[in-house]
Structure 1
Amino acid sequence: MRRIVLALALALSATMGAEAGETDKPRLIALDWGLATTLLGIGVEVRGVPEKPAFLDWVQDPAPAPSSRDLGLRLAPDMERLEEADPDFILISPQFASIEKRLESIAPVRSFAIFTPEKTPLANARSVTRALGDLAENPEGAEALIADTDRAIAALREKAEAQRETCGFLVVNFVRGGTVRVFGEGSLYGGVLEEAGLANGWTGATNFWGFATVPVSELLHHPDDELIIVSPVPVEVRQMLAAEDDVLSNGLFGKIPALRKGRYTMMRPVWSFGGLTEARTFARELSATDLPDCSNDNS
């Protein structure tokens, strides 16, 4: 009987020790969605995200646990909900500097920058991933995410190299029916294309985030590029693209070479202001498409 009691006591002690080890990990909240997805990508659960319904529309995967709190607006979070989440650290990017002092009344604040004036978001994302892995006490998870992302980009590069000549890619997100964001130098998408050895069709000026907001008519000037349309898109655009006859008969849209030739891909939501999880997803999604071969394109 004493042996049974002793065995039960040892088992209970081991269980409590394991639970204590888990709860001893820092409790983290990231107000920046890119930092939140990086934490999720390295296997760290976040205790809440701001604007959670919008997060699920624009980011989707990786998704936070259903139990994670909606913390209100990104730049004006609900302080009561933040306090209830009881974080050890609140993570922000420099764009949240205006509310940093308020946040410090809840918990210590740590700031990490993926997008900087140097316009190297992919390299920065690797560094930030390692820093978050250290803070979350999960450096192994961080290295695993980095390695997984590198493999995804390498697979895309190998697929591109197998073709004699691939077209350039024009990565866009429709803001409204007549306006698009087109991603070039300094964008996360552009960084993936560059590392994979693929040409980015947009060589014009870009802003701090690596994109330019231009009228749809600008797409008329890219007859040889494959169009990558990153979701979500406005309802009217989605409905039009769902019916090919409408594309060809719809004035301006029908004149856009990529749409007229059917050389476009609808991509699931991939947060353009994210980090390595988004870079990995973008590389995988692009690898899953049929890369256009322009070597014999006479259309």
Structure 2
Amino acid sequence: MRSALTAIAAIVVLAACGTTEAPVTEQAASASAEPSAAPITVKDSRGKEVTLDKPATRVVSLEWGETEMLVSLGVMPVGAADTKGFAVWDTAVKLDDSVKDVGMRQEPSVDSISALEPDLVIMESDDVELAAQLEKVAPVLVAKGSDASRNLDRMREDLNMIATAVGKTDEAAKLLSDFDAALAQGKEKIAAAGGAGKPFVIADGWRQGSTISIRLFGKGALVSDVAEQLGLKNAWTGKVDGDWGLGTTDVEGLTALKDPETRFFYNASDGDDVFADGLHKNAIWKSLPFVEKQQVVKMPNGIWTFGGPLSGQQYADALVKAFTG
């Protein structure tokens, strides 16, 4: 992560002009450009205290949500996992060409990370072995990533934790303020359009051979929480996991969604649209109320459903448009 705490060059100029002091040497000027912050201690999701000598400036991020948070704070990582995939699935921010790809999110290259000489690595995994390997390279900050019991609060905490580590707490406060304002304004717009309390479903899907599986974003999923903050009601009440608020079903399982006012939102940023291309001839799918009433909405490509405030705001804006357009 790059720091906002770089010394102001004007100080050097003022020190050298109109005084009887010795000229500022190149070495002194260079020294004045170094961050002068005191050490920072941040407690991560493991409950571990991570101490940095100063705000981190060379950061490697191993998950897209945290990568987005870094860039939204004004910090371009020196390395990130699966940068190609990030560009497809998360358009809230754009990575510079200088950002090195350090491998897949589930299996990053420790050697590639070490070669970048980071002063901080951010990960979102409970992979204790990987964390131990990386801690031989640099301090490691482990974000929670998701918590279906309190996902919006969790997102705020992850953002503020990262912001503290890179000296960007003011930027984090602004991001969260803008996010809250977008939710409040969106709720008002949906209510004005008569959409308050209307049911929604959020899903994505994949195919294996001729079998199509559907993943539902139930109670506690991050984007479900965003939708509920807009005054909408999640129609999917099936079983979900405690971390991500996600559940799976097949097309038959969707027959439980009988309310004709339900709107079905889905994500397919990678071009494999199982709803438009895989289920369009399926008799059960075509009989579902939201399909019959043409209330199926493909969300814009590149909105990451597990991201930070900027992705959350993108999702909120798309929902508002669907209910008010």
TM-score (norm 1): 0.82
Kept in 1, the 8 Å contact 2:212–2:274? The answer is no
5+ residue gaps in structure 2? 1-15, 18-22, 37-53
Within 5 Å, which residues of 2 pair with 1:209-288?
A: 209-223=244-258, 224=260, 225-232=262-269, 235=272, 237=274, 240=277, 247=280, 249-267=281-299, 268-288=301-321
Give the % identical residues: 23
| 2:75 is the alignment partner of 1:49 | no
Aligned equivalent of 1:126 = 156
Displacement of 1:89: 0.7
Kept in 1, the 8 Å contact 2:235–2:257? The answer is yes
Displacement of 1:237: 2.9
Displacement of 1:236: 5.5
Displacement of 1:288: 2.5
What is the one-letter code of the residue matched to 2:304?
Answer: W
Displacement of 1:121: 1.2
**CA 1:174–1:18 in structure 2 vs 1: closer, same or farther (change >3 Å)?**
farther
Count of matched residue positions in the alignment of Structure 1 and Structure 2? 279
State the alpha-carbon separation in 2 of the partners of residues 235 and 181 from structure 1: 14
What is the one-letter code of the residue matched to 1:103?
Answer: L
Aligned equivalent of 2:103 = 72
Give the match's secondary structure for 1:160. helix
**CA 1:137–1:41 in structure 2 vs 1: closer, same or farther (change >3 Å)?**
same
**CA 1:291–1:200 in structure 2 vs 1: closer, same or farther (change >3 Å)?**
farther
Q: Which has the higher helix share?
A: 1
Within 5 Å, which residues of 2 pair with 1:131-210?
A: 131-166=161-196, 167-176=198-207, 178-207=212-241, 208-210=243-245
Give the match's secondary structure for 2:129. helix
What do residues 135-154 of structure 1 show as CA deviations (whole Å, max 9, x unaligned)? 11011111111111111211
Aligned equivalent of 1:296 = none
The root-mean-square deviation of aligned C-alpha atoms, in Å, is: 2.8
What do residues 79-124 of structure 1 show as CA deviations (whole Å, max 9, x unaligned)? 22111222111111243333111111110111121323x6211111
State the alpha-carbon separation in 1 of the partners of residues 274 and 125 from structure 2: 34
State the alpha-carbon separation in 1 of the partners of residues 277 and 229 from structure 2: 33
Displacement of 1:155: 1.8
What is the one-letter code of the residue matched to 2:251?
Answer: V
**CA 1:258–1:140 in structure 2 vs 1: closer, same or farther (change >3 Å)?**
same
